[in-house]
Structure 1
């Protein structure tokens, strides 16, 4: 469809990737000589789960609404992992189903040539575990992979270096600015290269997401 409409741009609203603090994580990661793995956590106790327990079928918690942990919160750590480490060579998903047939909790394992990344996701309970990236003698600790308000980089001397810079009052500000730059500079090669990278990342994330969902037998009415 995009090829048929060359003046149209497609964006997925993944606001954490456009936060300045996420860019600080990516920049610091690029300086680390070795990566041994990572653990990302995105688990929220969403109010709709109480409705499920009461026998109801709220949006976001049903197959008909394309809901579940992967779709609602899993998308964000998946985007973070693929943006930072690239597309994995293999992915596995171990999920716990709820009464409506969707995944309420789950653990994703992404295999890379030299390390693995684990994602803990859920929509039926909270987790206050930080997300971490493990280097050789250093580590990046992120308070929340979807909000990125506090990021600590422990260097080889175990000294803590704060990676926080700008935190916008509205968490969608960075995303709006980034998308606006592309749309206002349609003839700028660099901006269009940036857009092409985002589009390829979206393809990779959703290819992986669909594979993970298929592994546990989650099928939506809109699937072909």
Structure 2
């Protein structure tokens, strides 16, 4: 079991800690927050004791009581925090997207390989058994693959606040927010892992008055088919996602959090595929990240890292096509 430090005291951090400890992959030893009071409140919420607390990133990363850090701060903070972690010799698990742009990703790529540490992007759905079942179905029917429609549209709990005249991080270009860099990351990961990197990317976005995308549609073009992606944080949709194989279709109940896979044959008969799903969707990634580090499985690591590299490239290509600019893009 590896020792874990965390940055971010929100629900997703709690979920990862629970997954890490349920699977005996990581043990929480230190928590960073901007205030020690907030870190203490988080630890108490977890029902834990004897956890070191820090309100200074420098002292946090200088600590020798953890070797891996999980970062779940706002998007724009990922790069700086991950860079500091790597410079201090820590392995990094960072929530997706790991960076705001390709320039930042290339810097972390070079630094992590030079330092000999691991840098994981926490795309938890691609590690789940139910996603691997979909991946297996696509591989088995590769010759008939003829496109896909992926949908992940969910009304944000912060959108009402935005409509009231405030500027939550998720709708703020300063924090690299918006639909594409939130829900859209899931769909792009689906496409890259299942179909590979596209030849071209186009994003038609609904731009909010903050300069951030509230929703939109992407078209990823491949040699023989297109993948159409619908994303949004300003409305709700209950449309399933579909992968097409001529007369046959694979239905996914969600492009972001798959709970059910259904095959439709040419007679339109629906057959639900047998799958497994953990109560905690982060279990599988926690197990895999720890396994790769413990076994020094370079092959599996580089495969995951290449997915992250391609996803971040697609995200930037999509933003460029839609004219979306983050504050991070202006940094030298």
Q: Residue 3 of structure 1: CA displacement? A: 2.3
Q: Is the 8 Å Cα contact of residues 21 and 163 (structure 1) preserved in structure 2? A: no
Deviates more, 1:112-121 or 1:33-42: 33-42
Residue 85 of structure 2 corresponds to none
Residue 203 of structure 1 corresponds to 309
Residue-by-residue CA offset, 1:11-66 (whole Å, 9 max, x unaligned)? 11111111100000010111113111100001110111111111101111110111
Residue correspondences, number: 219
- Whether 1:94 and 2:204 are equivalent positions in the alignment is yes
Q: Residue 160 of structure 1: CA displacement? A: 3.2
Residue 136 of structure 1 corresponds to 246
Q: Secondary structure at the match of 1:95?
A: strand
Residue-by-residue CA offset, 1:180-208 (whole Å, 9 max, x unaligned)? 2101111xxxx321111110111111011
- Whether 1:216 and 2:322 are equivalent positions in the alignment is yes
Residue 24 of structure 1 corresponds to 133
Q: Residue 157 of structure 1: CA displacement? A: 5.3
Q: Secondary structure at the match of 2:173?
A: coil
Distance in 1 (alpha carbons) for counterparts of 2:235 and 2:293? 38
- Whether 1:103 and 2:209 are equivalent positions in the alignment is no
Match among 122, 125, 143 for residue 13 of structure 1: 122
- Once the two structures are superposed, the pairs formed by residues 123-202 of structure 1 within 5 Å of their partners are 123-156=233-266, 158-186=268-296, 191-202=297-308
Q: Which has the higher helix share?
A: 2
Q: RMSD of aligned C-alpha atoms?
A: 1.2
TM-score by length of 2: 0.64
Q: Is the 8 Å Cα contact of residues 140 and 153 (structure 1) preserved in structure 2? A: yes
Distance in 2 (alpha carbons) for counterparts of 1:93 and 1:48? 23
Q: Residue 158 of structure 1: CA displacement? A: 4.3
Consecutive unaligned residues of structure 2, counting only runs of 5 or more, are: 1-110
Q: Is the 8 Å Cα contact of residues 202 and 322 (structure 2) preserved in structure 1? A: no
Q: Is the 8 Å Cα contact of residues 240 and 253 (structure 2) preserved in structure 1? A: yes
